[in-house]
Structure 1
Amino acid sequence: MSIRTRLTLYFAGLMLALLILVSTVVYFFDEQSQHTMFYSRLQRKAETTAEVYARKNRRLEETDAILLLTQEQQHEAIYDETNTLVYSSGRYAYYPVTAHFLSEIRQNRQVEFSAGNRLGVGVFFERGTDRFVVIVTAEDTFGRERLRALRNNLMLVNLPGLGLVIALAWLFSGRALKPVQHLINEIQQLSTDRLTERLPTGNGQDELAKLSIQFNQLLGRLERTVQQNQAFVTNASHELRTPLTNLLGTLQVSLSYDQRPDRLRATLQSAIEEVQSLISLANNLLLLAELSVEKQAATLTFEPVWPTEPLLDAVQTINRKYPQQPVTIDLPDEEDDRPLRAHADLLTVVLTNLLDNACKYSPTNHPVQVRLRTQSTSVEYVVQDEGIGIPADAIPHLFVSLYRADNARQTHKGNGVGLALVHRIIHLHGGRVQVESIEGKGTTVMVSLPL
């Protein structure tokens, strides 16, 4: 069922309920008003009968009775102080009278009652020595006919009114949903080739405008994701093609020309280095892909970790890889060292990648410094080198997968995945990474993690 149909049915149902409610209230109040007026007429009849009866010394003649009987099937009865019926106006049955009922009339001075279709009023008349009860009953035939006509008229009005309401609801829902249909048409025209386009936001205030704004923000994120994926595919294919080409060329040349064991050994060593580079790139890409999947990232277990432990593991790994490159460590006092909730292995990957970059791009025997500081609410790692530095225009792109600055490409091998991996891991820990660098003088990377 379409939204337009549902809106029409909801609106029609609401209006039908409102019409029934209004009709019921009108009928109820009209009925109450009719009864009130009829009881008022019966009261006046009872008072008139009592006045005539008292004035004529407690007797009514036939002509008086004829003049007093003005309502449909009207009946009048008079009871004296001993509850004896002293006057009855006619043949019509009236409300059965008991001593208790007469006592109630004398106590309340006036009582209204009903019996089937008959309405009645009992009035206690007291003047001088005259004390008696007058009971007048009658049928409000005219009132019933009037209420019946009102009920029929309300039904006749409500039926075509409901049809009109349905037609108006259909037109109203169509007009209300017209912007939605326009929005649907705009969305249908979008594709991966037109992600730069945005939906109109109208006045920017109503719900559809807010929906368009949210959808435009989603398009922006999707556009950035597509661009990153395109750049990733381009760079990944380049990074994979180069070592594979080198490996193939090396093995082909070795197969054709290398006859001596020492030259064959050198060729195999070069091939091993290319394979290790491919393995490192593949492992980093797989880890980055796993951490980029929200469901998998949400399954990571964070436990209390002493900040010095992953740092010392990373330094140990770097010392084995770069034995000629000194790494100095500045640790906090023992009483200042506090555990943080983290994934120890991933934190070791972060520090290893940062130290690896610092050593790779620093001249031999130029020390790389790493400092650990514990603040009141955070832990901060600072890795500082005196290497080639990073151009200012490259710093905003450092955390993009497979991106490498021009000076890094020209001087050292690499795959450009390390810093993207660092940024993703620190983001999962709720921390932040900052890079400060001067080309030709060195780079400082600061990692802050919450305690």
Structure 2
Amino acid sequence: MRLKFFLLSLLTLVFTSLCITFLLAYFYQSERLAFIDDQVRETATAIVDSELSDLKTYDYQIANALISEELGPDRVGKFFIVRNSKDEILFQTDNVSLLDVAIPRSPQWVTIEQDGRLLRVLNLSLPKFPNRTLQVGAITDSNFIFWSTLTQRSVVLISLIVGIVLVMTWFLSAQLFSPVRDLEGFLHEASAMLESKKDIPEIPHRLLSPPIKYLRRRDEFKSLVEGISQLVGRVNMNNKFTKSWTFQMVHEIKTPLTLLNRELERLQEKYHWEASENHEVQRQLNRVSRTITNFLDWADLANAEKPQNLHVLKTQAVVREVCSSIQRAYPDRLNLDLQADFQVMCNPLHLEQVIENLTVNALRYTNGPVKVILKQNQFIVQDQGDGVPAEVIERLGTPFNRGPHRSGQEKGSGLGLAWVFSVATLYGWKFTLINDQGTRARIEFPALDEAD
């Protein structure tokens, strides 16, 4: 945006400079031309009022003497021609013959540019001899009227001015967009906080109160910052209330479920029901209770600020131990490719749960083999299923985030990936989920010295 502003400012500056230059050139030309016209007009008036206009025949010496007597030094740079109705020259000064140029009798004012010289001529009819035309002109350099050349000094001066203006424009654009850059950084940070399910920090005070005094007046940018600040406050408040209501609702549900389980056991003992008669009821109650427990565990993990009970673990040993227990439930479907072994510092339960969740998810939602890969600082689970829906990947880290249930698949709660995402966020691991000939779930661990 700063570059766009700079380019727009530069284009505006160039356009304005060109307009001013053309206006100045037009004004310069008009004023110089008006000055010459005044000189020619005054000279013509003096000649018309002199005895030269009364002469019936023109002798060169007499006519030239009359002009010199009448004008004196003012005749320098001027020429005079008298023509009859047949366009024959009755008299002309010497400098006209040297010009070797044809001067027309009309219109009244004639401008001729030739070989770097400018001729400005006024055509007048002599009062006593209407069939005669008096042509009074001035000879000057074309540069006196038109800017045809630029000196090296002028070019250097113009380049210096343009350079200074460019530097000032770039500096001013940097100062002007400094708050915008700060706001952009804050919005990126706020977005990252929302993705990690944390409260958005307050907007920096420097954006609300600019250090430059005149910027403290109410303007559009300050109104925008104040609006964003209010929005941040409401989002944080809504998140706080939502978490509070959610936890309270979950606890309110968990208590009746516990009572229902006890009441079901009492009724079974009292009426001696067969186990098959209440099996489905018991299974559903256990499922709801397990989901609530998993949600509370995930909520505690998502709201944790620092990890606790840290240990340095050998990843290969943990993967073997977790996968060996999974293989009992899913025989002949799990392939291990343990290429490397590295250390990770974390809570052992968290690492085990991450490995179990990703591996079991892949086995549960696909029918083919699942490959577990351990290579340098990476844990990867690759399946050959249909892939994870795009809407699930977009909302990764949100509880109960799951795609449409397919026939023949187990129906999960959608808390497994949320758990993995929260653990990865807590420890600074990079968790990615990619659809590539199936689904590839990958955890990238930082080097142990970085994690430490």
TM-score normalised by L of structure 2:
0.47
Which of structures 1 and 2 has the larger relative contact order (alpha carbons within 8 angstroms, sep 6+)? Answer: 1
TM-score normalised by L of structure 1:
0.47
